[in-house]
Amino acid sequence: MNFAQALERLLPVVDTVHERWVHDRDIMLQNHSSNAEAPVITCTKGCGACCHFPIIPATAGEAFVLLARLLADGRTVEELHLQFMAYARRYLEWSVRQGSLPLTDSSQTLFLKEKLPCPLFVRTPETGALGGHCGVFQYRPQICDFYHSLDSPQLCLMKKPHGSFADISERGHGTLDELQRSEREIFGRSAIGHLPLLLAALLTDEGMKTFLTVVEPDTSVENAQDIEDFGLYVSLLGALGYAWGDGDWASLAKAQAEVL
């Protein structure tokens, strides 16, 4: 598949999922605000701690559509490549030093000390140490729309658990499932990964070629779809020069145990 064909297939998918989400989100927010006893969302404009998280989960298809929109807005491949590779280099050098990607709770907390924001984040220091706003607010991926807190932003700053509305979170995660299902129908696979790394990888020839390759999962193999999805993310990391290793397997197992 080529870039234009992929965009023609993916754009309506991303937009439709988002439009349905916005409709449902607004109803859920209305319900919560009409309940005087319900907690309130504490996220405010200028609070950018979550834009510094080491995992901003987006689908590869979302990253592709976002990239296409940045290019349509007049950004060039060269400048975006510079911007995202600078981030990826720092992120992956940190990972090599630590022995794995920041997958576990403790390594994510440690990563936050780097104060490395998403490359699409616009810093406004007057709003605090990690203050700023999203530079692509109207195009931001689903996670950046549905992630929220009902507690002090200080908890986010420390990467500690915080309250959120269960219905909004559940519906939000459902949008990622919807996107993945559609992407699998188009490409045979769909990776979820860290948004800035996905974008950096798509800005390399190898990464874009990998993303546009249509595969057919071998259904006779157990977990064939999971293997294809995961393989896509590992290949995209490979396009950035990062080799998934034993340390990453160990961290992934630990991270999975943490959420169970």
The footprint of ligand SF4 (CB under 6 A) covers 42-43, 47, 49-51, 56, 118, 120-121, 134, 136, 140, 144, 147-149, 153, 156
Nearer to ligand SF4, 84 or 189 (CB): 84
Cα separation of the two ends of the chain: 38
CB of 141 to ligand SF4, least distance (A): 6
Q: Is the Cβ–Cβ distance between 65 and 150 less than 8 Å?
A: no
CB of 240 to ligand SF4, least distance (A): 18
- DSSP code of 204? S
Nearest Cα to 70, choosing from 146, 142, 7? 7
Helices then strands, each counted (H, E), the chain: 11, 4
CB of 207 to ligand SF4, least distance (A): 18
The neighbouring-strand residues paired with 132 are 46, 123
Nearer to ligand SF4, 149 or 228 (CB): 149
Report the phi/psi class of residue 256: left, alpha or beta, with left for phi > 0 and alpha for psi in -120 to 50. alpha
- DSSP code of 194? E
Collapsed DSSP state (helix, strand, coil) of residue 110: helix
CB of 130 to ligand SF4, least distance (A): 8
One-letter identity of residue 146: F
Nearer to ligand SF4, 203 or 228 (CB): 203
CB of 198 to ligand SF4, least distance (A): 11
Nearer to ligand SF4, 44 or 220 (CB): 44
Nearer to ligand SF4, 50 or 92 (CB): 50
